């Protein structure tokens, strides 16, 4: 017996509630945040229009300037470190070693943890009174010193270490999938020509991973710009403002100091920065799909 024809409006009806909820809670609240950034809102929303005054105040703030500098350092080291570490791990696993399954699970495990858990764990590890420094001194190294977490000049690098540890497994999975997607005949042909394995990776395989590099840059850069929970759990933006990032600045202004308009302005700047990274990526993906269609 033939099944009755499915109504063309049924899938749309099923998807409509989730679509409407996403439209309101994501794009609607993003628009509302943009409106608040143009008002004199402080402790509570105030719809007195002040134009770009909040943005002017934002970019005149020394703390915001410091947060941007910290983001530049953190983003560069985080994106570069996670990419290099993930690529090296992917090349290691691509050798089809015996314990590949176990190692892949171990490397991917940190990504299964929340950034709060990662920040808390590394806070214990890097704490001079509890972690590495304390352990080395117990082993007899009395002059051992690793107090980066409480050093204003080095604390940001603690956040970088924790972030790379968290994300390098995910980057490894991206590169490993890319390596496994390359035709083995290319590798065999290079071996027949006498190319060594390092030369094959450097001259043939790694250049073939250009789309993976681009995707990795997009994803990890997005994580760097919106980094909040890792910083709050690990350093809470301190010592002082040494590890303050735009996301922690926004939270402090909007929810701790009652400057909702200023916090909304900083959030809008962050959104524009992420859009400047993601939109070209989406455009290139859609363009490539259009060519292959």
Residues 39-51: pLDDT tens digits?
Answer: 998 888 888 899 8
- Calpha distance 127→172 (Å, rounded): 29
* 50 close to 280: Cβ distance less than 8 angstroms: no
State the pLDDT at residue 267. Answer: 93
Domain ranges of the chain: 46-292
pLDDT of residue 175: 94
Q: How much is the mean pLDDT over the chain?
A: 87
Residue tagged 């719809």 (tokens): 47
Does the pLDDT at position 281 exceed 80? no
Give the pLDDT score at 63: 93
> How many alpha carbons lie under 13 Å from residue 97 in its C-beta half-sphere?
12
pLDDT in tens, 216-232: 998 899 899 989 999 99
Task: Please state which CATH number belongs to domain 46-292.
Answer: 1.10.3720.10
User: CA 251 → CA 189, 225, 228, 255, distances in Å?
Assistant: 56, 14, 9, 6
Is pLDDT above 70 for 67?
yes
Beta-carbon neighbour count of residue 40 at 10 Å?
A: 15
At 39, is the secondary structure helix, strand, or coil? strand
Q: How confident is the model at residue 255 (pLDDT cuts 50, 70, 90)?
A: confident
85, 163 contact by CB (below 8 A): no
Say which residue, 48 or 4, is predicted with more confidence.
Answer: 48
User: What pLDDT, on a 0 to 100 scale, did the predictor assign at position 3?
Assistant: 56
- Write out pLDDT tens, residues 267-280: 999 999 888 888 87
Q: Specify the pLDDT at position 155.
A: 94
Residue pLDDT, tens place only, 70-99: 999 999 999 999 999 999 999 998 887 787
pLDDT at 5: 58
**Least reliable range by pLDDT among 27-31, 105-109, 258-262:** 105-109
**CA atoms 41, 116, 106, 162: torsion sign:** positive
- pLDDT (mean) for 185-214: 86
Residue 7 clears pLDDT 80, i.e. is over it: no
For 13-17, 19-23, 70-74, 206-210, which range has the lowest pLDDT when averaged over its residues? Answer: 13-17
**Bridge partners, 49 (sequence order):** 39
- Overall average pLDDT of the 20-27 stretch: 87
Backbone φ and ψ for 219, nearest 5 degrees, come out as: -65, -50
Tokens 């070209």 identify what position?
A: 280
> Are the C-beta atoms of residues 149 and 158 closer than 8 Å to each other?
yes
Q: Which residues contact 127 (CB under 8 A, 6 or more apart)?
A: 134, 149
Which stretch of DSSP H or E encloses residue 206? helix 206-208
Contact 236, 251 (CB under 8 A): no
DSSP for residue 49: B
Confidence check: pLDDT of 1 > 60: no
* pLDDT value for 37: 93
Token pair, residue 263, equals 């916090």
């Amino acid at each position: 017996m033939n099944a009755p024809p499915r109504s063309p409006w049924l899938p749309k009806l099923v998807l409509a509630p989730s679509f409407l909820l996403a439209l309101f809670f994501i794009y609607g609240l993003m628009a509302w945040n943009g409106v608040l950034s143009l008002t004199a809102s402080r402790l509570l929303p105030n719809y007195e229009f002040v134009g770009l005054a909040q943005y002017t105040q934002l970019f005149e703030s020394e703390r915001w300037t410091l947060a941007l500098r910290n983001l530049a350092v953190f983003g560069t080291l985080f994106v570069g470190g996670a990419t290099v570490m993930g690529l090296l791990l992917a090349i290691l696993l691509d050798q089809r070693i015996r314990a590949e399954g176990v190692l892949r699970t171990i490397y991917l495990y940190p990504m299964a943890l929340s950034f709060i858990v990662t920040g808390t764990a590394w806070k214990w590890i890097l704490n001079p009174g509890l972690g590495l420094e304390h352990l080395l001194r117990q082993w007899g190294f009395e002059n051992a010193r690793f107090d980066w977490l409480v050093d204003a000049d080095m604390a940001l690098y603690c956040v970088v270490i924790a972030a790379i540890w968290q994300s390098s497994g995910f980057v490894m999975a991206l590169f490993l999938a890319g390596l496994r997607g390359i035709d083995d005949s290319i590798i065999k042909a290079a071996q027949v020509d006498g190319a060594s394995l390092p030369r094959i990776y450097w001259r043939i395989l790694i250049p073939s991973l250009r789309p993976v590099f681009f995707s990795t840059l997009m994803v990890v850069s997005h994580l760097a710009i919106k980094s909040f929970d890792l910083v709050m759990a690990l350093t809470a933006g301190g010592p002082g403002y040494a590890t303050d990032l735009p996301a922690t600045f926004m939270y402090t202004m909007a929810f701790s100091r009652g400057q909702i308009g200023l916090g909304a302005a900083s959030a809008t700047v962050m959104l524009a920065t992420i859009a400047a990274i993601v939109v070209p990526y989406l455009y290139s993906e859609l363009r490539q799909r259009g060519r292959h269609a």
